[in-house]
A and B are shown apart, each in its own frame.
Chain A
Amino acid sequence: MKRIIISAAILMISVPVFAQDDVITKYFSSYEDDESLTKVTVTSRMFSLFTDIETGDVEEAEFLEAISKLKGLKVISGDSIEDGMSKYKDAQSKIRGKGYEELMSVKDGSQNFQFLIKEKGSVITELLMIAGGKNQFHLLSLYGEIDLKKITKLASKMKIDALDHLRKLDPDNKKDEN
């Protein structure tokens, strides 16, 4: 009985560590039927399959290991919508006070980007990106055990357009842009 209680307690502690924040889940659900937006979901199973990939390249092996620790990715994205900025502000208001810490804000032309993280101890458990402009809106939530240094490479590996914005987190990329 004691063992069961301990196991249940461990489960209760460990599940929220890598679960996507409830507010984000609700936010994605609310846009499920919005056909003007593209919705992307990548599951933990997909990320775990990266551990099966064999590579002789040390850098790629480190990257694959980092990827395999991710538990999920959700993206909502629209490139030609009418109310991009209002969606951006709405998303910001919904996550306010939900334990996210701002990592970086970028104003790139007419587009605004905000990168936020959630931490448990010294581990980043969720990376959230909100981007909005006149006709654009992107919301990206990546959760699991996140290594920010490695995660910028995810953009080129997954070949999903909205992930390109993650490159803004790469200091080397920033130097290239300037």
Chain B
Amino acid sequence: MRIRTGLIRKSVKKPTLLQKGRFFLVLTFLYMPGFHNSIQAQSDVFKSIGKQYELGAELYFYASTLRMININRDPNFDEMIEDIKKMTFYQVNDFPISELKSFSKKFRDEEGFEELMTIEGKQQTLYILGKDEDEFIALLKTDEGVVAVDIMGMIRIDKIPDLINSFKTDNFLNVFEVGKSERNEHGN
């Protein structure tokens, strides 16, 4: 079983000069030293994940930067993210899938999150948790490891799977591939 994205996969057009410019602007913001410090303190559970496992990528987005990765200007995506204040992606390398469940429990026990939706299966593992109606955490297994997404702000609750899945389509910049190539260039 899988969650299906509501977004229709369109044929991928070659990026225009403007899109390439937007791409580098996003990169500049994502990797700007000290940029992350302006954001609210990281949760203890995320810190604990970071200490135990190697973080492959740690990316921060505001609604403005999220709009930039929407290369093909999908209006559904822009509508979906309009009330998101901040979204943080953590890609965790070598994370055992069996641990995801215990981290989901940690968020509930230690940080007051409530379970909203859980999918556990061979093909997909996804935990969606919520707190105070304006913070959501999604923990999911992907082909390349485990991704934790922290969403601050409002989003239609039924759109969270769409939002996560939209990052897997070719209509958007693959932020994790971007992060990977940047790190490789710096010899990490």
A contacts, CB < 8 Å to B: 35-43, 45-46, 49-50, 52-53, 75, 77, 79, 157-162
Question: Separation in Å of the B118 CB from the closest CB of chain A?
Answer: 4
Whether A159 pairs with B115 at a CB distance below 8 angstroms is no
Q: Which residues of B contact A35 (CB under 8 A)?
A: 122
Q: Which 8 A-B pairs have the closest CB atoms?
A: A38-B121, A46-B116, A38-B1, A49-B157, A41-B118, A45-B114, A39-B120, A159-B4
Measured CB to CB, the nearest residue on chain A to B136 is A49
A-B contacts besides A42-B116, A77-B1, A159-B6, 20 pairs, CB < 8 Å: A36-B122, A38-B119, A39-B118, A41-B118, A43-B114, A43-B116, A45-B114, A46-B116, A46-B117, A46-B128, A46-B130, A50-B158, A52-B157, A53-B156, A77-B121, A158-B158, A159-B161, A160-B1, A161-B1, A162-B1
Measured CB to CB, the nearest residue on chain B to A160 is B3
Q: Which residues of A contact B128 (CB under 8 A)?
A: 46
- B42 on the A face (CB < 8 A): no
Whether A41 pairs with B133 at a CB distance below 8 angstroms is no
Decide yes or no: A45 and B3 within 8 Å by CB, A36-B122, A38-B123 being known contacts: no
Whether B162 pairs with A159 at a CB distance below 8 angstroms is yes
Q: Which residues of A contact B157 (CB under 8 A)?
A: 46, 49-50, 52-53
Q: Which residues of A contact B28 (CB under 8 A)?
A: none
Measured CB to CB, the nearest residue on chain A to B6 is A159
Q: Which residues of B contact A161 (CB under 8 A)?
A: 1-2, 4
Q: Which residues of B contact A160 (CB under 8 A)?
A: 1, 3, 119
Q: Which residues of B contact A158 (CB under 8 A)?
A: 158
Number of B positions contacting A (CB below 8 A): 25
> Per-residue CB proximity of B131-160 to A under 8 Å, as 1/0?
001000000000000000000000011100
B contacts, CB < 8 Å to A: 1-6, 114-124, 128, 130, 133, 156-158, 161-162
Q: Which residues of A contact B161 (CB under 8 A)?
A: 159
Q: Which residues of B contact A162 (CB under 8 A)?
A: 1
Q: Which residues of A contact B2 (CB under 8 A)?
A: 161
Q: Which of B5, B120, B133 has the most CB of A within 10 A?
A: B120
Question: Separation in Å of the A161 CB from the closest CB of chain B?
Answer: 5
Whether A159 pairs with B124 at a CB distance below 8 angstroms is no
Measured CB to CB, the nearest residue on chain A to B128 is A46
Q: Which residues of A contact B117 (CB under 8 A)?
A: 40-43, 46
- CA distance in complex: A162, B3 (Å): 10
Whether A40 pairs with B116 at a CB distance below 8 angstroms is no
Measured CB to CB, the nearest residue on chain A to B158 is A157
Whether A38 pairs with B122 at a CB distance below 8 angstroms is yes
- CA distance in complex: A41, B128 (Å): 10
Partner pick for A79 among B1, B119, B120, B156, CB 8 A cutoff? B1
Question: Separation in Å of the B3 CB from the closest CB of chain A?
Answer: 5
Measured CB to CB, the nearest residue on chain A to B118 is A41
Measured CB to CB, the nearest residue on chain B to A46 is B116
- CA distance in complex: A50, B117 (Å): 13
Whether B156 pairs with A39 at a CB distance below 8 angstroms is no
Measured CB to CB, the nearest residue on chain B to A158 is B158
Q: Which residues of B contact A77 (CB under 8 A)?
A: 1, 121
